[in-house]
Structure 1
Amino acid sequence: MKYIFIGLSLLLAIVRADNECWSQTYALKEYYPCCKDQTQPVYKIESQIKFGKENGVKCTLGPYVPDFVDRERFDDTREEWNAFKIKWDNEIRDNFKQISVFSGDNESMLNFGWYSTEDTKPVIRFGTQEDMSDAKEFTGNVEYYKNLLIGSRKYSIYSNQVTVSGLERNNTYYYQRYIDGKWEKSVKFVTRDPDNFNFIFVGDPQIGGSHGKPNFLDMSKELTNDEATRNDAFNWERTMNKAFELKSNNPPSLLLSAGDQADDEKLQDYLDETQFSALLQPAVLKGIPHAMTVGNHEQYNENFRHHFNTPNSFTEIERSDREVIPGFNYFFRFNNVLVVVLDTNEPSTYDYSHTMKNAVTKYPDTTWRIVMFHHDLFGIGRTHSQGTYIVNKLRPILNPLLAKYKVDLVINGHDHYYSTSHFVSFDGVNYDISEISENKTFNNPKGILYITANCATGSKLNPRNDAKVDYIYHSNQTYTATFGIIDFEKDIEKQVNRITINYYDVESLDVTDGSYIIEKDLDYVREEEPEPECWAEEFGYECCLFSSMVSYVDDKGRYWDFQNGNWCGVTNKPMIINKSKIPYKPNKCWSLERGIQCCPSSIKSTSYINDGVYGVVNENNGIGFRYCGIQLPVISDIEPNNNTPVSQESTCWANDYGYDCCGPEIVKGNYIDNDGIWYQNDSYWCGLVTYNKNDIEIVNDQCWPDNKFKCCSPVNDQCWPGEYECCSPGTKVEYTDEEALWGVENDISIKPLNI
């Protein structure tokens, strides 16, 4: 009877959508009337909905056509879908211990990761027998991550990581995980032919992304977060199963996902974890390694890097002071393919160039180089592709870097709209294109092929941008779930290595784009660009590994960039050059002349370059910020224009915070913090070298600026009563509270300063 009831509900919904004015009860945005004249010309199409106009008012034409994959609409999967709903409630939603089988450093290794609620040594058994009789145990690391509230119960969550090595190609293995005090059932894992294999690639599974879409069973209601996550979880599992069905004769060896695996970006931790549970639950993913990148929806917490055990992670990042570090750039080799994965939510020339350099240094001889990151560098989706973040921030960094390391293929997502570029090359200033076409073989073409994958679950499907661009060869929006396949083949007869790329509709398995065929001769050797000599070493600086922009041009016309808290000489041809004339004042704050303080030493990167080189200091717990000037490099063959001796040595404590110490003309300070006593006016800060009771000046009987602290009251130059002694004159301030200034003597205790 339950099945019949659901069927009747669907029938009523379909009849209502076709014969009644569905848009008057439509759950999204505005309500629209249905056009009285349904035969009139289409005025506009938005998300597949056709609009007309009557008496100047928009009205809908035809039945409702959804812009996402709503599983309730599919009769051919009705039985599976109903069974999945039960499984979702009972087995999947709250199973936060799903295992991740990540790619290892190379094809002979696997990186496992999972959550547990116990602080025990993680162990994986790995062997060739299903009964695990020949298994070897591999142990790893465990760390406490967070507390997670499930219902009314709070769980301690631990992140576990184990690396397994010694895998050989064309072999069958089994593995087991030890968790909750017992060994799980063994899982089969098969390695494939290293000369004939394939990868699945997808964009934005974004499980949960259909939340807020109209409920097909009742158009006046929206899908809840849980309903949407369940819907998209089923579609994700179906996408994976259909990919394996398509390649049943030669099953995939690796899954590449270009970010936004989960949808939640509102810091709803439980919801976000249900979406990761959905991501990892398909059975086929237990038998294939995957590699994923951080999407913009995953940048707000650290769930990504605690679920996934990424190989060769670049952890010495430029912005290590970030409150949240969701994941790292990393790389691995798989057979004759080098894969580099970048996080494009926090653009850093330093991080990207070091990751790329590390990758090609460790694996210089792979035939193919693939780079994957979330934001579509050469896409054509309406939502993001032409935005200033991509065009003005990411392209100047990534275009020359990808060209320098002769990348073959870039896989992106982000826009939920599919596109394939021509081959895009870069000369250091501008990009150029070499035309591509389907079903034609290109031997070692000039330039990079960029593919922007569509949404793998169909949870969000967006339209095309109207911009006229020359780099797009093909684009489409099928309004279905989709995936891509890259076939790698070593053709001995023709003496070439070949990749063939196709893109597929999940339900029909029809090709929606492709084939794109690229070949390289078996004896192909990539000619790397030689590293230029480092002229900056003459002045005691390193040269930038790579720079996308020039932050400073010195008086001799040399190019400098500021990376990871240090100046470095630019030796490559940069895309952006800051030619502003900045007063050359080594060890002095040039920006004070413009009313802006200089940056403390904790600032590692530039944030703004116009009339100078600026960083950003966060204030009010990251809610606000202010610009600060980055001090210039000390260059011995340039005369300073402030009559200050050029020296990199300084005994001034304020230099550690990007400031100078006060000259002899300033004898009293008017501001104090935990670092020391300062003198401040509207455009200048300096630190007092020593402290004593006369160093603080009370202005107009008021305390220091902003009344940040109470002022101390000297009592006949005596120490006030209390359990602490007073410090000797000249003791450095170590701590300030509302009662006093405090210092330390003989490393014994904190004592109030007698001022």
Structure 2
Amino acid sequence: MRKTRKLVSAVLAASMVAGIGMGSVETYARSSMRAAWNDASSSKTTGTAVKDACYVEDGSETAEKTAYSNVYADSAEWAAWQEKWKTIRNNYEQIALTPGENATKMNFAWYCVTEEIPKIKLMDSQGRVIQEVQGQQNLANKETITENDNVITLIPNKVTVSGLAENTSYQYQYYLDGAWSDTYTFETKSTENFSVMYVGDPQIGASVGQDDNSKEYHAMNDAYNWNHTLSSALSAHSNVSFILSAGDQINQTSVSKDADKLEQQIEYAGFLSSPLLRSMPVATTIGNHDSKSVNYSNHFNNPNTATSVATTEGKTDAGTDYYFTYGNTLFVSIDTNNYNCATHENVIKEAVEANPDATWRVLMFHQDIYGSGYDHSDSDGIVLRTQLTPIIDKYDFDAVLQGHDHTYSRTYQLSSDGQTHSSYQSAPKTNTDDFSAYLGDNACYNILTNIENKNNVVNPEGTVYFEANSATGSKYYQLIGTQQNYIAARSQSWRPTYSVIDFTETTLTVKTYDAATNTELVADGNIKTSYTIVKSVEKEDLKKEIESAEVKLGEVKAAGTYTEESVQKLSDTIDAAKAIYENAESTTTDVASAVTSLQEAVSALKAVDNGENGNDTDNNISSGDSTSDGNNAGNAGTADDNAGTSGNGQTSGNSTTQTGTATTAKSNVQTGDNAFPTVLWFSLGAASLAGLGYIAVTEKKRKNEN
């Protein structure tokens, strides 16, 4: 049951000026300076001149600096990959795993060239057959490609396997062109406390245009980098249950010509080429580059895919919305290339009503209705904001995962302003009254969290929106120069990133990492990207967390392979948490802080580096660049600049919710800063307990009691 709480604190105490102000001079469908990209043929130490942000108001840019974006470049590996690519580029029959409608199921999809009954042979870890499951071919959706007068007809196959147990290793084969495939493995994870990986815009082939090489060359380049990101991230986070990809798996959009159809299949072959994807399920959403072809829905067997008229009206060629549950969480994916939001609401309503007791609700779509990239975040990216914001509010989503703008950002907790706004099917042209009205309508939100509450909230009202940067580095966009007032943290590091989302019964934590080094990304203003939502917790929850942490502490002490510093930090945090548990006067804030701090101390346990670490950390340049102009005075998020007035002209001391009213003013931008050392503490009675993060309490009213 999702709990109902009274809202006791919902005020934004400081101003962040918005970049969608009335009367500013803008260019519709703007395009960023695409200076940096992840060039596998170059070297890690080769830099590129970049400017992190561009101002809409006058076209000026921030100071030039040097970005080191070729994070996986290695001449020997690149040479080997080019040879390997000869067999990857036309391997159109690779299988893709997708989460099933719940954790007991797994979905499979693949192309073959033979009309036959698709089958999966599921085996235990010893190779003993458990079941052989038949599925369906879709002859109506078969695709034909032509290369060098060789015509290939690809037939889509889909199978769902049921009866899976958690924390179990399985083997499987799929029936392919009259014979069983090689044997692959996958492992189910726990559904009680679990982690998922969240990526944005792998967009295989999107680096095309950076030089004179062909589309296929750039698909090869981007697939190489995608393989490295997956290898690096999943090596560092082996507990991940599945991957969430927020759209644009590939770059080739049009399939009107034979050459385009071939290129798109080559790019999908590159996307699916990592051997890790034979074992790791991927839940994708439809990006604008995926939306023009049935190949998307042929490659991915999405669960609970909408089929009725009410849940498919306006759907794109790629497919439509779907949902699934894993443990205590409902995941919903909608195709925002379909502008019929009634369709999306019907799917969301169905998903929520079918899973009323889900502790967490997560929505994923491609276009960033709340982002901070220069290219889309105040133009075509926000076309659906006025329609989707009240729907997201109505169905009480905790987090929204977005892509599209190839930058990183996180919002404050946002809600609908409850007012009536116009709906749009496209962004009007600039320098018109219609465009001014469009910008005004899109100030349709309330900002609910306090500005001091940068990284943690307890039972917050509203929804937090994330925008993911490119997971491959195939394409980066600049930030919009003036940071919008709804943005709490943002960055353009010019390096591939990914996020890990940890779910427990009481917490949802999102951390974003540099994909090459697996170190946590630091946003502008030295803001850590880690963000935790805490549901209301009781002392019994803390007791369980303490017991779990003590078990982990015993394990790592016995292993003797973790750094003394990280082990001691966990021990100290356990002692401090016990003091809170035993104190009769501990507040909800104290208990919630103790729970999250224990989780952070466990996740921060660091293995002793024995020189065999496979992560690609040497010769990588820190995302914080010494050539930055160093002018931090205007960074949104710093206390000095944000202590004055709110964006609607009210003083920061008023205990009111800030609306989406926008102004235009410049703020200096500096990205990739290194975090300053911070001691987190709070006072309990007369004692100050170090190491436990303060969390401002904002009690949340759940709008849909079930």
Q: 2:119 aligns with which of 98, 123, 130?
A: 123
Looking at structure 2, the residues matched to 255 and 48 of structure 1 have their Cα atoms a distance apart, in angstroms, of 30
TM-score, normalised by the number of residues in structure 2: 0.61
Displacement after TM superposition at 1:246 (Å): 1.3
Once residues 390 and 475 of structure 1 are traced to their aligned partners in structure 2, the CA distance between those partners, rounded to angstroms, is 17
Which residue, 186, 193, 201 being the options, matches 1:196?
Answer: 193
Give me the whole-angstrom Cα distance separating, in 2, the residues matched to 1:180 and 1:100.
17
- 1:234 paired to 2:224: yes
Query: In 1, distance between residues paired with 2:514 and 2:42?
Result: 25
CA distance change for structure 1 residues 62 and 314 in 2, over 3 Å: closer, same or farther? closer
- Which residues of 2 match residues 252-651 of structure 1 at below 5 A? 252-267=240-255, 268-317=260-309, 325-387=317-379, 389-391=380-382, 393-429=383-419, 430-433=444-447, 434-435=449-450, 440-490=455-505, 497-512=506-521, 513-521=528-536
Contact 1:207 1:279 in 2 (8 A): yes
Deviation for aligned residue 1:436: 5.9
* Distance (Å, rounded) in 2 between the aligned partners of 1:326 and 1:84: 30
Amino acid at match of 1:140: G
Deviation of the 1:79 alpha carbon: 2.5
SS in 1 for 2:270: helix
Q: Which residue of 1 aligns with 2:175?
A: 178
3-state DSSP class of the match of 1:178?
Answer: strand
AA in 1 matched with 2:363: V
Could you say which structure has the greater relative contact order, defined with CA pairs below 8 angstroms and 6 or more residues apart?
2
Structure showing the higher strand proportion among its residues: 1
Cα offsets for 1:290-320 (capped at 9, x unmatched): 1101101111211101111111111234697
Mapped pair 1:206 → 2:203 = yes
Cα-to-partner distance string for 1:36-80 (whole Å, 9 max, x where unaligned): xxxxxxxxx65799xxxxxxxx9xx999x6786485xx3xx3332
Change (3 A) 1:357 1:324: closer
Displacement of 1:323 = 9.7
Separation in 1 of the partners of 2:67 and 2:216?
19
Deviation at 1:130, TM superposition (A): 3.6
Identify the match of residue 151 of structure 2 among 129, 151, 154. Answer: 154
1: CA distance between counterparts of 2:535 and 2:342? 31
* CA shift in 2, pair 1:378/1:420, >3 Å: same
Q: Give structure 1 stretches of 5+ with no counterpart.
A: 1-8, 24-44, 50-57, 215-221, 491-496, 525-755
Classify the secondary structure of the residue corresponding to 1:253. strand
Q: Which amino acid aligns with 2:213?
A: L
Q: Are 1:438 and 1:516, in contact at CA under 8 Å, matched by a contact in 2?
A: no
Instruction: Name the SS for the 1:313 alignment partner.
Output: coil
| Residue type of the alignment partner of 2:414 | V
Local SS of the residue matching 2:83: helix
Q: CA offsets per residue over residues 693-746 of structure 1, 9 Å max, x none?
A: xxxxxxxxxxxxxxxxxxxxxxxxxxxxxxxxxxxxxxxxxxxxxxxxxxxxxx
The Cα of 1:174 is off from its aligned counterpart by 1.1
Alpha-carbon deviation of 1:81?
2.2
Number of paired residues?
Answer: 456
Partners of 2:329 and 2:498 in 1: CA distance:
20
CA distance in structure 1 between the partners assigned to 2:485 and 2:326 by the alignment: 33
Taking the aligned partners of 1:317 and 1:508, their CA distance within structure 2 comes to: 47
Per-residue displacement from partner, 1:60-115 (whole Å, max 9, x unpaired)?
A: x999x6786485xx3xx3332221111111x2100000101011111111111011
**Contact 1:48–1:67 under 8 Å retained in 2:** no
Q: Tell me how far apart the structure 2 counterparts of residues 276 and 438 of structure 1 sit (CA, whole Å).
A: 41
How many Å separate the matches in 1 of 2:315 and 2:370?
A: 30
Note the alpha carbon deviations across 1:113-163, whole angstroms, 9 max, x for none. 0111011000001121442x2320111110221211133210111110101
After TM superposition, give the deviation of residue 440 of structure 1 in Å: 4.6
Q: Aligned match of 1:164 in 161, 164, 168? A: 161
For residues 177 and 162 of structure 1, what CA distance do their matches in structure 2 show? Answer: 9
- One-letter amino acid of the structure 2 residue matched with residue 166 of structure 1: G
Give 1:729's aligned residue.
none
Tell me which residue corresponds to 2:93.
Answer: 97
Question: How far apart are the structure 2 equivalents of 1:233 and 1:69?
Answer: 14
Q: Deviations over 1:184-236 (max 9, x none)?
A: 2221111112222100000100110001113xxxxxxx232111111100110
Q: Is the 8 A contact 1:125 1:175 kept in 2?
A: yes
Could you say if the C-alpha distance between residues 225 and 238 of structure 1 is closer, same or farther in structure 2, counting changes exceeding 3 Å?
A: same
| CA pair 300-459 structure 1, distance change in 2 beyond 3 A | same
Q: CA deviation at 1:261?
A: 0.5
Which residue in 1 is equivalent to 2:663?
Answer: none
- Structure 1, residues 396-444: CA drift from partner, whole Å, max 9, x if none? 2110000001000000000001101111112422411123667753221
Check 1:331–1:320 CA distance in 2 against 1; reply closer, same or farther (3 A cut). closer
Aligned CA distance change for structure 1 residues 296 and 402 (closer, same or farther; 3 Å): same
From 131, 137, 145, the equivalent of 1:136 is 131
Q: String of CA shifts for 1:378-412, please: whole Å, max 9, x gaps.
A: 1010000100x443x30121100000010000000
Verify the 8 A CA contact 1:437 1:516 in the aligned structure 2: no
Indicate if the aligned counterparts of 1:119 and 1:143 stay in contact, CA closer than 8 A.
Answer: no
Distance, in Å, in 2 between the alignment partners of 1:254 and 1:402 is 24
Cα distance change, pair 198–313 in 1 and its aligned pair in 2 (3 A) = same
Residues 160, 410 of structure 1: alpha-carbon distance in 2 compared, 3 angstrom cutoff: same
Give CA deviations for 1:638-666 in whole Å, capped at 9, x if unaligned.
xxxxxxxxxxxxxxxxxxxxxxxxxxxxx
Residue 516 of structure 2 aligns with an amino acid whose one-letter code is E
1:27 paired residue number: none
Deviations, residues 431-473 of structure 1 (Å, cap 9, x unaligned): 1112366775322111111000001100101101124521001
Q: Deviations over 1:367-386 (max 9, x none)?
A: 11000000001101000010
Change (3 A) 1:522 1:325: farther
* Equivalent residue number for residue 710 of structure 1: none
**Alignment correspondent of 1:635:** none
Q: Which amino acid aligns with 2:410?
A: T
Decide whether the 8 Å contact of 1:98 with 1:114 is kept in 2: yes
**In proportion to residue count, which structure has more helix?**
2
Q: Deviations over 1:609-652 (max 9, x none)?
A: xxxxxxxxxxxxxxxxxxxxxxxxxxxxxxxxxxxxxxxxxxxx
Which amino acid is the alignment partner of residue 361 of structure 1? E
**Whole-angstrom distance in 2 between the partners of 1:519 and 1:102:** 28
Alpha-carbon contact 1:294-1:343 (below 8 Å) kept: yes
Q: CA deviation at 1:514?
A: 2.2
CA distance in 1, matches of 2:222, 2:318: 23
Task: Give me the whole-angstrom Cα distance separating, in 2, the residues matched to 1:70 and 1:80.
Answer: 13
Distance in 2 separating the partners of 1:436 and 1:196: 29
- Aligned residues with identical type, % of pairs: 33
8 A contact 2:321–2:334 mirrored in 1: yes
SS at match of 2:240: coil
Q: Please, what TM-score do these two structures have when normalized by structure 1? A: 0.57
Please report the RMSD computed on the Cα atoms of aligned residues, expressed in angstroms. 2.9
